[in-house]
Structure 1
Amino acid sequence: MRGHQSVIAVTERSQVGEARREANRLAELAGFGAVEAGNAAIVAAELATNLVRYAVEGRLLIQTESTAARTSLILLSDDRGPGMENLGACLTDGYSTGGTPGNGFGAMRRLSTVFDLHSSVPGGTVIYARIDRPVDRSAAAAARDQPGFSWGVVNRPMPRETVSGDTWRIEEREGLLAVMVADGLGHGPEANAAAELAGDVFDRDPFGAVSGLLTDAHETMRGSRGGAVAYAQADARRGSLNFAAVGNIAGSLRSAADGTSRGLFSHNGTVGVQVRKVQTFDYEYPHNALLILHSDGLQSRWSLDAYPGLAQRHPGVIAGVLARDFDRGRDDLTVAVIRRGAEGRSDAAG
């Protein structure tokens, strides 16, 4: 489930301390112990320091999320800097282009449960780091034995707003995954309140029938501003996806085999205001394929083809690149990327 989050612009040195303190605060809210929270703060400080030293338009997203097996603190940095020409060397202890000891990347990888990045020259860098705290060791062990999923989500309010009118949820259980993305009509607190009503429906029964969830959301959101809502459930064993949406939540499935994409159908209407028909659709969801869902804060003409190797990176990195480069800049933004396939401890390539 989605937890708390903060978005910090990192352009000067005082914001390094802000990033460190915020990572520590959110880790403590998520139930991390002192050592784990301290590790999260170290990773945040390293990411923020690199943004100040080398980047242009640096930004750090810090978020928490929970599943049955784990609670996680996620750090996602993005920038429009010069990029890293020699990525393998940059990831090696002792390498530096800025006159420092060059141990930052190594430290971040060692302290992270999952660590990955993508860098374009020019264009900038996106780095994803996740630190996990197991909450149920038996559930965590069972999850490792199940065919599963990996994912990453970026959610940001529109400029000058303090709360996003979009929201999202993800839950995984025994080879199944449920996801929801909602975009409340308009912006600000009232849009957020409408979207969170759809989130409440998901929270009550994330693996309920998709058509029933959307019908319940329509009734629950009556009297609010309403919004666009998509619910989906995926089965890793069967390689299948069941999807239902109303409004402008866009969805696509991208094949790992040939890079082709297939759009997912969404009905016209506004959940909570006017829904003429609720219909679900079934799609094949092959191994390593990417499910990408986003609100209309992301441009519709995005593409992964201009980024060599990006489609093989962690979904959190993919979401970060899309959010950085295809943000409309005048709306709330949510982009969720989900791969059918479990993740390794560290996906960063040398």
Structure 2
Amino acid sequence: MTDASCVGEARRHAAQAVANMGWNEVDAGRLALVVTELGTNLHRHARNGRLLIAAHQETGEAGEVEVISIDDGPGIADLSLAMQDGHSSGSTPGTGLGAVRRLASEFDIHSSMPGGTVSVARMRPAVSSAEGTWHVADRQIGAICLPAPHEAVCGDGWAAAIHDERTTVLLADGLGHGPEAAKASQAATAAFASCCEGDLRETVQKVHRELQTTRGAAVCALRIDTADATVTYTGAGNIVGRVMSGVFDKSLVTQHGTAGMQIRKPETASLALPAHALVILHSDGIETRWNVDRIRPLLQKDPTLVAAVLLRDHTRHRDDATVVVIRQKE
């Protein structure tokens, strides 16, 4: 959000996103206020402010819009004061973050000084009774998937399937970036969709076969079984995984290789799933080494907010970057 015109551009983008989703003027107006407030805050008060806007719609549903605000500082000294409805550090139309929280269907925020502030606002029509996107009673999935600088499409792709007590996730990172990398990751997620409930090794093998007409991709397939409290995973390439809680931290490492080109016979590994854990997968657009102590204060936060903090603090700024976070609720 480098200048005031960016706020209007973001508002127009959000309006276009819901134009074909059947939202009425009141709901579209709520969305415009939230985008304006968050965007203006970034422009006036933040360093390197970014506003990410994505629309999600399932067949027959009114859908939702996710608005993610990210900055590099200076942070909010008194977050509880800033969240009071009507409080504003400037003459913004929404009259402060309290109004954003009131207008949003779901809202979460984290701020540190001088690190900066990240917030997630989800907007749904007032008549909608749907839960938040990718939400099950004891599981939440949040993700951010961004293209490399100056690219219009992302060479990463991810997909998730939730069935009873099992959550299965695939993350694919097409070699390089741009349209050809995107073709590879899209082929991977399409293959996953047809076999997501099967054995993980067979899933990776099928993905490998389907990618043989593409440039290939690094892939990781992961399954959380809450009934058995286990995490099982397999894959090939440089997808990074991590399972962490307040007292636990374990990295997930897959074998070398590239799906679609050359991989060894997939082998699965498993570990116990701690209570209240986060399970994190990310592509190599995110630095491999990051300080878990900076994420532990976010264990009870919205998983999309966790993904946004990792993206802000550890992106390499030269490749596609994807973070998927699964949170086990209490």
**Do they fold alike, i.e. is TM over 0.5?**
yes
Deviation at 1:245, TM superposition (A): 1.5
8 Å Cα contact 1:30/1:64 also seen in 2: no
Q: Structure 1, residues 166-188: CA drift from partner, whole Å, max 9, x if none?
A: 11112334343221111000110
Taking the aligned partners of 1:165 and 1:247, their CA distance within structure 2 comes to: 15
Q: Structure 1, residues 246-284: CA drift from partner, whole Å, max 9, x if none?
A: 11000010023x1x3111130110000001121122222
Q: Which residue of 2 is the match for residue 181 of structure 1?
A: 171
Q: Which residue of 1 is the match for residue 189 of structure 2?
A: 199
1:323 matches 2:315 = no
Q: Which residue of 2 is the match for residue 17 of structure 1?
A: 8
Taking the aligned partners of 1:302 and 1:91, their CA distance within structure 2 comes to: 29
Q: Structure 1, residues 201-241: CA drift from partner, whole Å, max 9, x if none?
A: 12234323222211110000002100101112222333222
Q: Which runs of 5+ in 1 are unaligned?
A: 1-9, 343-350
Taking the aligned partners of 2:146 and 2:2, their CA distance within structure 1 comes to: 18
Taking the aligned partners of 1:314 and 1:140, their CA distance within structure 2 comes to: 13
* Equivalent residue in structure 2 for 1:241, among 223, 231, 239: 231
Q: Alignment RMSD, CA only?
A: 2.7
1:130 matches 2:130 = no
* Equivalent residue in structure 1 for 2:298, among 297, 310, 325: 310
Taking the aligned partners of 2:269 and 2:42, their CA distance within structure 1 comes to: 43
8 Å Cα contact 1:27/1:40 also seen in 2: no
8 Å Cα contact 1:16/1:45 also seen in 2: yes
Taking the aligned partners of 1:58 and 1:88, their CA distance within structure 2 comes to: 21
Deviation at 1:36, TM superposition (A): 3.3
Deviation at 1:308, TM superposition (A): 7.0
In the superposition, relative to structure 1, how do residues 326 and 199 fare at CA in structure 2: closer, same or farther (>3 Å)? same
Taking the aligned partners of 1:151 and 1:318, their CA distance within structure 2 comes to: 11
1:78 matches 2:70 = yes
Taking the aligned partners of 1:72 and 1:212, their CA distance within structure 2 comes to: 34
Taking the aligned partners of 2:220 and 2:127, their CA distance within structure 1 comes to: 29
Deviation at 1:100, TM superposition (A): 5.4
Q: Which residue of 1 is the match for residue 96 of structure 2?
A: 104
* Equivalent residue in structure 2 for 1:45, among 15, 36, 43: 36
Taking the aligned partners of 2:128 and 2:208, their CA distance within structure 1 comes to: 34
* Equivalent residue in structure 2 for 1:261, among 249, 259, 264: 249
Q: Which residue of 2 is the match for residue 3 of structure 1?
A: none
Q: Which runs of 5+ in 2 are unaligned?
A: none
In the superposition, relative to structure 1, how do residues 220 and 155 fare at CA in structure 2: closer, same or farther (>3 Å)? same
Q: Which residue of 2 is the match for residue 336 of structure 1?
A: 324
Deviation at 1:286, TM superposition (A): 2.6
In the superposition, relative to structure 1, how do residues 323 and 187 fare at CA in structure 2: closer, same or farther (>3 Å)? same
Q: Which residue of 1 is the match for residue 289 of structure 2?
A: 301
Decide which moves more: 28-37 or 157-166.
28-37
8 Å Cα contact 2:276/2:299 also seen in 1: no
Decide which moves more: 75-84 or 23-32.
23-32
Structure 2 residue matching 1:230: 3-state secondary structure: strand
Give the letter aligned to residue 232 of structure 1: L
Deviation at 1:128, TM superposition (A): 0.7
8 Å Cα contact 1:182/1:228 also seen in 2: yes
Taking the aligned partners of 1:315 and 1:106, their CA distance within structure 2 comes to: 21
8 Å Cα contact 1:152/1:338 also seen in 2: yes
8 Å Cα contact 2:158/2:189 also seen in 1: yes
In the superposition, relative to structure 1, how do residues 166 and 281 fare at CA in structure 2: closer, same or farther (>3 Å)? same
Give the letter aligned to residue 316 of structure 1: T
Taking the aligned partners of 2:322 and 2:231, their CA distance within structure 1 comes to: 20
Give the letter aligned to residue 50 of structure 1: N
Deviation at 1:126, TM superposition (A): 0.5
Structure 2 residue matching 1:202: 3-state secondary structure: helix
Taking the aligned partners of 1:178 and 1:61, their CA distance within structure 2 comes to: 26
Taking the aligned partners of 1:31 and 1:200, their CA distance within structure 2 comes to: 28
Deviation at 1:156, TM superposition (A): 1.1
Decide which moves more: 11-20 or 22-31.
22-31
1:226 matches 2:216 = yes
1:113 matches 2:101 = no
Q: Which residue of 2 is the match for residue 275 of structure 1?
A: 263
Deviation at 1:57, TM superposition (A): 0.8
Q: TM-score by structure 2 length? A: 0.90
1:217 matches 2:207 = yes
Q: Structure 1, residues 46-98: CA drift from partner, whole Å, max 9, x if none?
A: 11111111111111111234579984321111011211000000000232333
Taking the aligned partners of 2:193 and 2:37, their CA distance within structure 1 comes to: 35
Taking the aligned partners of 2:128 and 2:204, their CA distance within structure 1 comes to: 31
* Equivalent residue in structure 2 for 1:56, among 31, 35, 47: 47
Decide which moves more: 288-297 or 201-210.
201-210
Decide which moves more: 196-205 or 321-330.
196-205
Q: Which residue of 2 is the match for residue 208 of structure 1?
A: 198
Structure 2 residue matching 1:186: 3-state secondary structure: coil
Deviation at 1:159, TM superposition (A): 1.2
The number of residue pairs the alignment matches comes to: 328
Deviation at 1:313, TM superposition (A): 2.0
